Amino acid sequence: MPRDELRERAAFVLERLSRRYPEPETLLAAEGAWQLLVATVLAAQCTDARVNMVTPELFRRWPGPAELMGAGQAELEAVIRSTGFFRNKARNLRETARLVMERHNGAAPRTMEELTALPGVARKTANIVLWGGYGINAGLAVDTHVKRIAFRLGLTAAAAPEKVERDLLELFERKHWGMVNHLLVWFGREVCAARAPRCGECELAARCPRNGVAR
């Protein structure tokens, strides 16, 4: 499909989903960039709902990076165990806290390069922290919902998250990148589910090629 037509479809998607979700927010409960960074690291291979059950106790014990860097490995593992991969996550969070204190004056970094230099932080996590914590559109976070829906809508044919992100960045204006992530995540949870998409209730159906959806 010509690039102009893809951009027009992307504009249609943005307009319709913005009507459905006028003020979409991240599903992770977090106050500030540091808490969002920790919560997003914990959310890898875990549901946001589960993370939200864990973080209140985590932040009660270790409110910021200064406290978390001094947490014992076993003690931190016990608190975050239910999020899965808890040993690696605990090691990464303790080291991240140390680096944030030593290199960034106790604040979560504000650039893609600095964030992705932290252990356990890839582009998706960095994009979420930059947008959600600082309002910075450095990229577009691609999770399973974004990847699935972008493919179904014909906005990308790529499978690798980095390539999906690159395709979407070309179709949406920079000022909308962070919002597009939130819109597609909410839409993926409520309408365009992985196994049983509710196409009959979808305001995008008229323009959706339904790639990968059984007819």
Residue of 89, 124, 147, 167 marked active site: 124
Closest CA to 145 of 198, 112, 190, 178: 190
Residue 124 among the catalytic residues: yes
- Residue 175 among the catalytic residues: no
Catalytic residue among 143, 163, 167, 175: 143
CA distances from 112 to 98, 137, 158 (A): 18, 10, 22
Kindly state the DSSP code that residue 96 receives in the 8-state scheme. H
Asked if 147 contacts 165 with a C-beta cutoff of 8 angstroms, the reply is no
DSSP annotation of 159 reads: -
Asked if 61 contacts 71 with a C-beta cutoff of 8 angstroms, the reply is yes
Query: C-alpha angle 115/170/121, rounded to 5°?
Result: 15
Q: Rounded to whole angstroms, what are the CA distances from 171 to 22, 130, 150?
A: 21, 20, 11
Q: Which of 38, 32, 41, 82 is nearest to 61 (CA)?
A: 38
Active-site residues, by number, are 124, 143
